[in-house]
Amino acid sequence: MEKEVVYVVSDSVGETAEFVVKAVATQFNGGSVDIRRNSYVEDAEDIEDVIVLASQNNKSVIAYTIVVSHLKEYLDRRAAEEGILAVDLLNPLMNAFEQKFHKEPNHQPGLMRKLDEEYFRKIEAIEFAVKYDDGRDPRGIIRSDIVLIGVSRTSKTPLSMYLAHKRYKVANVPLVPEVTPPDELFKVSRNKCIGLIISPDKLNEIRKERLRALGLTAQANYASFERILEELDYAEKIMKRVGCPVINVSNKAVEETASLILDLLKSGRRIT
């Protein structure tokens, strides 16, 4: 007795087609059908191999997700010639999209997987930025794509998160006179390290606002000009020692600074 077989054919991985076939198969006595996946078909020869196999079994079906037009046409023609039932799982919906939305499909295989990979790269970068925020673990400096250094309130964390959404792994390190910078900071390539500076007046304004938001007195040492000048002077010395490019963030939005950072990484220029 011939076994019921569904040949899943795809010009990509074929996961979508296999999932659909399994969902349908469960509606027929628990889905005992034999599913055989044929992934990454690239030419007529690949399709011909499946046609030969399917033609040898009267209880076989071909279910396919092929978006490359000439491959789809070839499979349809050969299946018809051999009397094989071939089911296109994508084309009916693609046609509906074309008619209703007035758009043309790309006819490019693997786009779904590419989107998935991009998504997971972004999630990985965001998790990295959280884990290595504010100098929590110096090991992140070596593993990062970008290292941001600067005194407190120079937008290191917002910048890290913004760049993470663009799939860059970012670590940031606060520069504080009382805390020796981690050794890793002086071992990484200066091209991926960015120093962030800010004017004393602007930093004073930001820190006072921060203290007010926390319900603390604006006269605290954290916002005093003397302390700010001390921190900025210390930060400048560290940045010179690292030899990294420096960006003045005084009057820049996060998006603007991020754009400058990416330009720096690509060109290797220095900017202030």
Known binding-site positions for ADP: 150-157
User: Do residues 148 and 171 touch, judged by C-beta distance below 8 A?
Assistant: yes
Sequence-separated contacts (24+) of 229-235 with Cβ below 8 Å: 229/200, 230/177, 231/151, 231/152, 231/175, 231/176, 231/177, 232/151, 232/197, 232/198, 232/200, 232/203, 234/151, 234/175, 234/176, 234/177, 235/149, 235/150, 235/151, 235/175, 235/195, 235/197
According to DSSP, residue 31 is labeled T
- For residue 48, CA distances in Å to 71, 82, 198 come to 11, 11, 66
Binding site listing: 150-157
Q: Can you read off the two tokens belonging to residue 267?
A: 């060109």
- For residue 23, CA distances in Å to 18, 20, 31, 56, 262 come to 9, 5, 8, 25, 45
Q: Can you read off the two tokens belonging to residue 33?
A: 């059908």
Compute how many other C-beta atoms are within 10 angstroms of the C-beta atom of residue 40: 12
Of 149, 152, 236, the C-alpha closest to 194 is: 149
User: Do residues 193 and 246 touch, judged by C-beta distance below 8 A?
Assistant: no
